[in-house]
Structure 1
């Protein structure tokens, strides 16, 4: 247990160090963008006095290093500053939108994870058959297609021609769960098509690699049914790579939804990031980018811990 705790703490330390480096890159990359933020916000007709007042209000008169330390200290406490365009706290601007993004990611994950694992096991059992070849072609097509392309295809066939689902994911506060699931089905389906293909191929590869192991051959020689060979012998040893790929795809569901949210006008944090970039609302841009980075690092940490827990060789290193 002590070795496992040390490994987890070590991974956590690496994650925090990575997040610190990412925060530096995010802040100073925004700083290096051309143009004056205050002038961009106020427009060309602003007077120098108004620009100077806004620069002082935003803290732009201070050195960049001082502003970074202040921003980092506030971010650790959950305070990302004030939005440059609305004047509201950044967390008030992106808080609800981040919850919407988490809901969309959870909606897609609930569908994609079990479907991908089950299909991966099936195609591993039926490898080199017509079903396996068709599945490989479809998954490669899905992985190779950009999210916005899949989104527009779904809009064309399921929203415009079939009129089954709305093309725009309009949400309201008084909406019940059924209506919410209905209105967000197309963006969720777009994410499902992308991540299911990847997880299915990785599950298939992990199962096929284990099926050639000596203990699997021995189980087959003893007359164990194929499904029992998979469930009792191969699958428990394939959980480590499967958990890794599931966690990485969950990270993608949260951090890679920007294009999907833009296509379906979904009020999530990805849409907020795009709006903030167009308005040069840099506090919101920095906050969204840091949240994306922290989420990705946290789920990578979860993947590492899951791999350790499911692999005895990692739980008990020599």
Structure 2
């Protein structure tokens, strides 16, 4: 038998692969049961029945569903996401740039929100039930209660229209410098930070407070160590597993849940790309985007599980 950590990590990865396979089945079924005829929607209502029948044959729509699924899955496993029906271009090429843009947006939101959430959680514990704790909890709960599109429009009106600090449309391209890109995505990043901050902060606070009830914390306090040092040196390291878990879940949300934010700010990412092609009933694009989102979400959940396992000292040092 191998090390417990390697065994558990292997189990999590195998389970993730199984979940992704199941997700691909659900995605395929979901796109196939949509009302209407794909060939008819491509050609328009004025198309002749013969033209529709020929296009259905070209697209392989006359084949049984299971054959179409395995043909699609085989292509995906080989890196071929298919061709967009709306423009005839390979989906993988368009998705590559779009996914890069989405990861750029989500990455900067994570760089700001994760340290800020941990810091605010530590401050909330330090000043438990006092005004800093109540202020932090109140503000973060207010922001998470508001829908992303509403927060986006509020920031556009006050910061972009009234104050003219940042642009209201977040369109970036490769010719822009890093500073220009950051200035352009400031508002969508702010919305994402406000949305995910509350959950990470409150989990940090709850995890540390749970550890603070332990006997070794009381021993450290009796030694005369300052409250902040007790939190930083003893409570926080032992509360890191649930904190990392919720951080990873929120990072998954940042990538998967940016659809609304990208649409509000006209950001050229995966979310905007998906919405554009849903309106065109471009099924291969919808399938590819949904599978990519599922892959990212499942992968980050696997990472969260593995990090939680590694953070468990009983598994790191088995007897």
Q: TM-score range by the shorter chain?
A: over 0.9
The answer (yes or no) to whether the contact 2:20–2:294 under 8 Å persists in 1 is: yes
Alignment of 1:34-183 (within 5 A): 34-183=35-184
**Secondary structure of 1:101 counterpart:** helix
> Which deviations, in whole Å up to 9, do the C-alpha atoms of 1:91-148 show, x marking residues without a partner?
1222110110000000100111111101110111101001111111111111111111
Alignment of 1:1-318 (within 5 A): 2-315=3-316
Instruction: Report runs of 4+ in structure 1 exceeding 6 Å deviation.
Output: none
The answer (yes or no) to whether the contact 1:277–1:285 under 8 Å persists in 2 is: yes
Q: Provide the TM-score with structure 1 as the length reference.
A: 0.97
The answer (yes or no) to whether the contact 1:98–1:269 under 8 Å persists in 2 is: yes
Show structure 1 runs of 5+ residues with no match: none
The answer (yes or no) to whether the contact 1:3–1:316 under 8 Å persists in 2 is: no
The answer (yes or no) to whether the contact 1:19–1:297 under 8 Å persists in 2 is: yes
Number of aligned pairs? 318
- Displacement of 1:162 in angstroms is 0.6
- Displacement of 1:69 in angstroms is 0.3
**Secondary structure of 2:239 counterpart:** helix
In structure 2, C-alpha distance between the alignment counterparts of 1:215 and 1:57, rounded to whole Å: 70
In structure 2, C-alpha distance between the alignment counterparts of 1:213 and 1:175, rounded to whole Å: 52
In structure 2, C-alpha distance between the alignment counterparts of 1:47 and 1:66, rounded to whole Å: 27
Choose 51-60 or 192-201, whichever is displaced more: 51-60
Q: Provide the TM-score with structure 2 as the length reference.
A: 0.97
In structure 1, C-alpha distance between the alignment counterparts of 2:303 and 2:200, rounded to whole Å: 17
Show structure 2 runs of 5+ residues with no match: none
Choose 91-100 or 281-290, whichever is displaced more: 91-100
- Displacement of 1:77 in angstroms is 1.7
In structure 2, C-alpha distance between the alignment counterparts of 1:175 and 1:50, rounded to whole Å: 45
In structure 2, C-alpha distance between the alignment counterparts of 1:155 and 1:30, rounded to whole Å: 34
Let me know the Cα RMSD of the aligned residues. Answer: 1.2
- Displacement of 1:317 in angstroms is 6.5
